[in-house]
């Protein structure tokens, strides 16, 4: 869209995103008590699962969007794309962290973004609602988050979040990258949900994030939140078997981290 909506219009979009995210979370939490009964298929590899919970959660999101913003476009991880007529596009991940969810690990969430305008990441396990808008608002449970800051000591004192792909060849390359990053930073974290990784950077629970092979629905909502606080969001170009990825960091850390993760040496 060429113009930024006013605060009232952004509030309405945030309301839609929150309702959609909470509707998806209700489907997920209802099924989390009986994970053994879920029907599970696979996607990109035999270790990349999708469950009926993912599908039910996305259907819940799409039902909210169809009711409240019926002319908008939609891109979702589990369903067909919808081409809208308004110029707005919703990018949704009904369950980011499916493997964690299926293992009973509470690091999973719902991500709903109106592309470039608003983003909601809802973490049902902690009942945390991360929200952001292009006008600079970025909140956790309604409380404004502080602006982006780098740790004293720079990259060497940074806690860096990342993730890995499912394809064995991709993981071999990623192992080489993390072997360069690890000696140059405070430590590395791999929690298994990209949307939470991004908003945890925004909330100060990590200092930076990078990952190759992520899709738009993994990071779209978190990107809005991070940018609102002054974090830089960069596309990192894939090489070898790896697809493009994302890097999120305060401006002071971007160049140093980029050099580490994009080097092919």
The per-residue pLDDT for 1 is: 47
Pick the more confident residue, 240 or 110.
Answer: 110
Question: Of 187, 201, 224, 74, nearest to 146 (Cα)?
Answer: 201
**Residues 89 and 72: beta-carbon distance below 8 Å:** yes
Alpha-carbon dihedral angle through residues 232, 140, 204, 175, given to the nearest 10 degrees: -70
Q: Which residues of 233-259 are buried (b: 16+ CB within 10 A; e: fewer)?
A: bbebeeeebbeebbbbbbebbbebbbe
The per-residue pLDDT for 94 is: 96
Range in 54-58, 86-90, 122-126, 247-251 with the lowest mean pLDDT: 54-58
Pick the more confident residue, 213 or 43.
Answer: 213
Please provide the average confidence, as pLDDT, over all residues in the chain.
93
d(CA 255, CA 155): 10
Mean per-residue pLDDT, 247-256: 98
The per-residue pLDDT for 42 is: 62
Mean per-residue pLDDT, 33-43: 65
Mean per-residue pLDDT, 27-31: 91
Structure tokens at 166: 């499912």
Q: Which residues of 85-118 are buried (b: 16+ CB within 10 A; e: fewer)?
A: eeebbbbbbbbbbbebbbeeeebbbbbbbbbbbb
CATH 3.40.190.80 correct for 154-262: yes
pLDDT in tens, 140-190: 999 999 999 999 999 999 999 999 998 999 999 999 999 999 999 999 999
Conformational region of residue 214, where left means phi above 0, alpha means psi within -120 to 50, and beta covers everything else: beta
Length of the chain: 265
Mean per-residue pLDDT, 24-33: 89
pLDDT reading at 36 higher than 80: no
The per-residue pLDDT for 31 is: 85
% of the chain beyond a pLDDT of 70: 92
Ranges in the chain annotated CATH 3.30.540.10: 7-144
Q: What CATH topology corresponds to 7-144?
A: Fructose-1,6-Bisphosphatase; Chain A, domain 1 (3.30.540)
Cross-strand partners of 76: 92
Mean per-residue pLDDT, 241-261: 97
Ranges in the chain annotated CATH 3.40.190.80: 154-262
Pairing of strands 118-123, 143-144: unpaired
d(CA 17, CA 73): 14
The per-residue pLDDT for 83 is: 93
Structure tokens at 105: 């690990």
The per-residue pLDDT for 227 is: 98
Structure tokens at 132: 């952001």
């Amino acid at each position: 869209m060429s113009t930024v909506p006013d605060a009232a219009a952004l509030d309405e979009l945030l309301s839609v995103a929150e309702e959609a995210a909470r509707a998806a979370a209700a489907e997920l939490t209802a099924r989390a008590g009986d994970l053994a009964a879920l029907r599970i298929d696979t996607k990109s590899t035999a270790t990349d699962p999708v469950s009926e919970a993912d599908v039910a959660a996305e259907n819940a999101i799409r039902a909210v969007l169809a009711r409240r913003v019926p002319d908008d476009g939609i891109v979702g991880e589990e369903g067909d794309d919808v081409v809208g007529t308004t110029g707005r596009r919703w990018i949704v991940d009904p369950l980011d962290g499916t493997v964690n969810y299926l293992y009973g690990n509470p690091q999973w969430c719902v991500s709903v973004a109106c592309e470039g305008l608003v983003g909601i990441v809802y973490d049902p396990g902690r009942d945390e609602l991360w929200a952001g808008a292009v006008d600079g608002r970025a909140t956790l449970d309604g409380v404004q988050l502080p602006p982006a800051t780098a740790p004293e000591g720079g990259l060497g004192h940074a806690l860096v979040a990342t993730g890995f792909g499912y394809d064995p060849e991709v993981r071999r390359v990623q192992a080489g990258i993390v072997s360069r990053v690890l000696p140059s930073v405070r430590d590395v974290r791999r929690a298994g949900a990209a949307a939470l990784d991004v908003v945890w950077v925004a909330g100060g629970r990590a200092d930076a994030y990078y990952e190759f092979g992520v899709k738009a629905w993994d990071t779209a909502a978190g990107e809005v939140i991070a940018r609102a606080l002054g974090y830089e969001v960069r596309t990192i170009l894939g090489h070898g078997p790896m697809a493009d990825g994302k890097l999120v960091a305060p401006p002071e850390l971007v160049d140093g981290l980029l050099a580490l993760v994009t080097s092919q040496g």
